């Protein structure tokens, strides 16, 4: 089945700073967080027990900035339950989606290690995706199924690290390599797929990004980013760093404990 896009978060003005900040991953739930979790358990009933614990913590913390914190968390958890059941997400790693080899050849994503805190470090080579061939090979439902497979793979890596280190980890680091980016990647059909992915998985996997490094960004993207950045939520915007050259990006990543 298709991964339908959950309804997005309401439009917000980001002129002022958020009043509440999520706790660090390894920290226990605060009393307020525990209260929201209890409200979610009451509202979801039996569906609550079907959701993984790490996911529940991410949702409680991922919607902390919303005016109706508990209501927003519950709303998105209900959408998550429907999606995970419909797509069989709990078992998605048992069998790779159709044409997985072809997907991995075109959509170049590699887990290259961990940062100093144990977060998986993922490199995605967006500029090397053959945009036209990719669009012809993968319709939107199959594309999103592969994306779910990737997300659940990262979840499993985080869970493994949490058990290995006895310290909860549920975030990952992304290095988005823009080298090779061309007008083909800005064509409406390909751009629509990317926007659909961001829209869907932003709500399905909240509070999962530790840091996003955009590297080898061409001048045209740098100009666009100057317009986009002020529209982002402050909690998200400050996790994103943009670099036109790899050498400067490498120094910044090394300072954060990320080694390419």
Residue 13 pLDDT > 50 = no
pTM: 0.86
Q: Across the chain, what does the average pLDDT equal?
A: 87
Percent of the chain with pLDDT over 70: 89
Tallying the residues shown for the chain, one arrives at 260
Examine the pLDDT at 222 and tell me if it is beyond 90.
no
Could you tell me which of 23, 45, 37 has the C-alpha nearest to residue 70?
37
**pLDDT (tens digit, 9 = 90+) per residue, 139-171?**
999 999 999 999 999 999 999 999 999 999 999
Measure the N-to-C terminal CA separation of the chain; round to a whole number of Å. Answer: 36
Q: Pick the more confident residue, 34 or 65.
A: 34
What is residue 92's predicted lDDT score, i.e. its pLDDT?
A: 93
The pLDDT assigned to 11 comes to 41
How confident is residue 17, by pLDDT bands cut at 50, 70 and 90? very low
Residue 48, helix vs strand vs coil: helix
Mean local confidence (pLDDT), 243-252: 88
> Which has the closest alpha carbon to 204: 21, 78, 70, 47?
78
- pLDDT higher than threshold 50 for residue 81: yes
* Lowest mean per-residue pLDDT among 50-59, 195-204, 215-224, 246-255: 215-224
114, two tokens: 């961990």
Contact 216, 165 (CB under 8 A): no
Q: Which of 206, 174, 190 is nearest to 110 (CA)?
A: 174
Give the pLDDT confidence of 103-136 residue by residue, as tens digits.
Answer: 999 999 999 999 989 999 999 998 899 999 999 9
Burial class (CB in 10 A: 0-12, 13-18, 19+), 260: middle
């Amino acid at each position: 089945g298709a991964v339908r896009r959950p309804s997005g978060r309401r439009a917000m003005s980001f002129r002022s700073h958020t009043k509440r900040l999520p706790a660090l991953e390894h920290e226990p739930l605060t009393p307020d967080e525990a209260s929201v979790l209890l409200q979610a358990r009451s509202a979801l009933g039996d569906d609550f027990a079907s959701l993984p614990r790490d996911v529940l913590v991410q949702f409680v913390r991922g919607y902390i900035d919303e005016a109706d914190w508990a209501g927003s968390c519950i709303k998105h958890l209900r959408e998550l339950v429907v999606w995970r059941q419909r797509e069989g997400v709990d078992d998605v790693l048992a069998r790779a989606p159709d044409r997985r080899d072809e997907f991995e050849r075109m959509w170049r994503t590699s887990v290259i290690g961990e940062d100093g805190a144990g977060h998986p470090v993922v490199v995605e080579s967006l500029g090397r995706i053959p945009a036209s061939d990719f669009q012809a090979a993968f319709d939107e439902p199959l594309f999103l199924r592969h994306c779910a497979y990737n997300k659940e793979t990262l979840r499993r890596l985080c869970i493994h690290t949490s058990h290995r280190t006895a310290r909860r980890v549920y975030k990952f680091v992304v290095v988005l390599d823009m080298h090779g980016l061309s007008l083909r990647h800005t064509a409406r059909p390909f751009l629509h797929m990317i926007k659909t992915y961001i829209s869907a998985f932003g709500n399905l996997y909240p509070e999962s990004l530790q840091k996003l490094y955009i590297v080898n960004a061409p001048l045209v993207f740098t100009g666009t980013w100057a317009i986009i950045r002020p529209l982002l939520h402050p909690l998200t915007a400050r996790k994103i760093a943009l670099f036109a050259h790899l050498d400067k990006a490498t120094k910044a990543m090394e300072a954060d404990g990320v080694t390419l």
